[in-house]
Amino acid sequence: MKLELFSYWRSSASWRVRLALRLKNLPYATVPVHLLKAGGEQFAPEYRAISPEALVPSLRDEAWSLSQSLAICDYLEAVYPERPLLPAQPRRAAEVRSFCALIACDIHPLNNLRVLRYLSDEIKLSDEQKSAWYRHWIGTGFTALEARLANRATPFAFGPEPGLAECFLIPQLYNARRYDCALEAYPALTEIDARCATLPAFVAAHPDQQIDCPHA
């Protein structure tokens, strides 16, 4: 088995998959795709052959490849079921997928690099206006995430161990801090983040630990 992850060190979508791979203890090789260098390596024809949408991450398993972090995590869960990231009960598993989709489909797309670039380059928003946009959508999404965890009785989002929910939550909290979003209103989210911070899988998957991190 040789898994290859096409990734950018600070991409939160790539980070989700790194966490899933680490929590499942699956060996993989990182193939860096620099999102800023030379206008963005994700637009190169060689990478578009793997990801026509020109986004990271993509996962290659032998000669077969797949893009989109949600789909990649579902694939890993199905093909490598050891160390599961989802609860066994269908309803609980659906709750986790819904939590992850709120991040991947509702929060992140409105705040990712290409959207922020469009706001600056095409709509001509100032940096202050762009940050206000970012914080608005973080607040809307995080309020919903916090409400979903309000009555939890476990140390992590949906169980006694971190799973797929944490793979999606932790990178989004990192992004929020980069934009100085206030997080005091989300004690459940930040408590889970603090619990994950020292776990080996989360330490290894952190952007600062990636081979393409300029500060490494």
Q: Over the stretch 175-197, which tens digit does the pLDDT of each residue have? A: 999 989 999 999 999 999 999 99
Size of the chain, expressed as the number of residues it contains:
216
d(CA 57, CA 46): 14
Using DSSP bridges, classify how beta strands 28-32 and 64-67 pair: parallel, antiparallel or unpaired: unpaired
Global pTM value: 0.94
Q: Could you give the percent of the chain with pLDDT greater than 70?
A: 99
pLDDT band at 152 (very low <50, low <70, confident <90, very high): very high
d(CA 58, CA 51): 7
The pLDDT, as a whole number, for residue 215 is: 82
List strand residue ranges (DSSP E) for the chain, in order. 3-7, 28-32, 58-61, 64-67
pLDDT above 80 for 1: no
The pLDDT, as a whole number, for residue 34 is: 96
Higher pLDDT, 113 or 84: 84
99 with 165: CB under 8 angstroms?
yes
Report the pLDDT averaged over residues 10-38: 96
pLDDT above 60 for 70: yes
pLDDT above 60 for 117: yes
195-198 long-range contacts (CB < 8 A, ≥24 apart) are 195/155, 195/156, 195/162, 196/156, 196/162, 196/166, 196/170
3 with 28: CB under 8 angstroms?
yes
The pLDDT, as a whole number, for residue 128 is: 87
pLDDT band at 115 (very low <50, low <70, confident <90, very high): confident
- 3-state SS assignment for residue 173: helix
State which amino acid sits at residue 112: N
The pLDDT, as a whole number, for residue 109 is: 85
- 3-state SS assignment for residue 127: helix
Which token pair is 134?
């970012």
d(CA 121, CA 188): 36
d(CA 72, CA 178): 26
Higher pLDDT, 2 or 149: 149
Q: Cβ of 211: how many Cβ atoms within 10 Å? A: 11
- The model's pLDDT over 198-207, given as tens digits with 9 standing for 90+, comes to 999 999 999 9
The pLDDT, as a whole number, for residue 216 is: 62
Nearest to 58 by CA among 40, 76, 72, 43: 72
Half-sphere exposure of 111 (CA within 13 A, CB side): 30
d(CA 190, CA 15): 18
Report the pLDDT averaged over residues 77-99: 97
List strand residue ranges (DSSP E) for 119-193, in order. none
pLDDT above 80 for 88: yes
Q: Could you give the percent of the chain with pLDDT greater than 90?
A: 85
Mean of per-residue pLDDT scores for the chain: 95
